[in-house]
Chain A
Amino acid sequence: MKIQLKKGLLDICILASLIEEDSYGYKLIQDTKEIVEMSESTLYPILRRLEDNKFLISYTKEHNGRLRKYYKITDKGKQNIYEFLNEWKDMKRIYDFIMERVKNG
């Protein structure tokens, strides 16, 4: 099944991937691969937007003799995820309501 992701959903997926540990571009794409096929040029503006909104901060660290940019989620970023989850609780209730009618019908 191929559906277009709702705007902003991808942003939350990236933020959620940073909750456990800081990460970097390549790894973020790999980590989200199971749910969404994201190209590198799609990820870039998302990271920029999240950083502009102070949902994450970035820092560079040496890796194999080169610099790699790491991203760290901020408290504001975490807050954003919780807000998302709360909003979707209502969505879930609506989904359940519809599902129940369909099943009984």
Chain B
Amino acid sequence: MDKKEFLKAISNNLKGFDKSEITEILAYYEEIIADKMENGLTEEDAIASLGNIDDITNEIKVNLVLKRSDKKISNSLKSFIIILGICSSPILLPLGFAFAVLFLSIFIVLFTLIFVFGFTGICVILAVFIHSFSTLSTGGDIASIFIQLGLGLMSSAFLIGLTIELYKAMKLLLNKINRLFLKTIKKKTKKGEEVNA
């Protein structure tokens, strides 16, 4: 494989990540290859010495997603898909399976709750207005209509507030799970960091 093919393969593997980040990574490897060649290696050997492309890009992905979740700008679902992709390598398969089950079950449970509460909240608002109008048109008592409206809006505000809090909690929890698994992957795949003695 020559340098061009190597860099192309890396940028292909990292599609979807921040462009400036990819540019910087490519410049880094290009410089390392040039320095290795300057020190006597052939282009082919210099590239071979860098190791397997999937390993290289998986390590980069783990670090990028971790960094993103540090800054709280992470999209948990997007990170989830990237982590699953990293886990497709044989040694990480069991971990990936555990991760997918945990992530999806929490997501489904919380999403269902959020959906139910949110939906109920909106239905209560609609019901209250429709009921008030029908009472009004049939010549109901204004005071009791206002009490109905007030109580209805209060309970729907409570439900919608609950939905929003649950949504925040879900984001936080899924982000935590992502980080936990990223760190586990990092530990499992860590190499080239042994002390020489």
Contacts and interface: CB of A to CB of B under 8 A. Distances in A.
Interface of A: 1-5, 10, 24-27, 33-42, 44-45, 48, 64, 66-69
Contact of B190 (A1, A4, A24): A4
A3 to B, nearest CB: 5
Contacts of A44: 25, 28, 60
B31 A4 contact: no
Contact of B28 (A4, A25, A27): A25
Given A40-B50, A44-B60, A2 B31 contact: no
B193 A36 contact: yes
Nearest to A5: B193
A40 B194 contact: no
Interface stretch (B32-40, B119-127, B139-147, B151-159): B32-40
B172 interface: no
Interface residues of B, number: 26
Interface string B75-109: 00000000000000000000000000000000000
B195 A35 contact: yes
B176 to A, nearest CB: 19
Contact of A39 (B60, B192, B197): B192
Contacts of A3: 194-195
B195 A38 contact: no
Given A34-B196, A37-B193, A44-B28, 20 more contacts: A3-B194, A5-B193, A26-B31, A26-B32, A26-B36, A33-B196, A35-B195, A36-B195, A37-B196, A38-B192, A39-B50, A40-B29, A40-B32, A41-B55, A41-B56, A42-B59, A48-B63, A66-B31, A66-B34, A69-B28
11 contacts: A1-B195, A27-B35, A33-B196, A35-B195, A37-B192, A37-B196, A41-B60, A42-B59, A44-B28, A45-B59, A45-B60
A48 B63 CA distance: 10
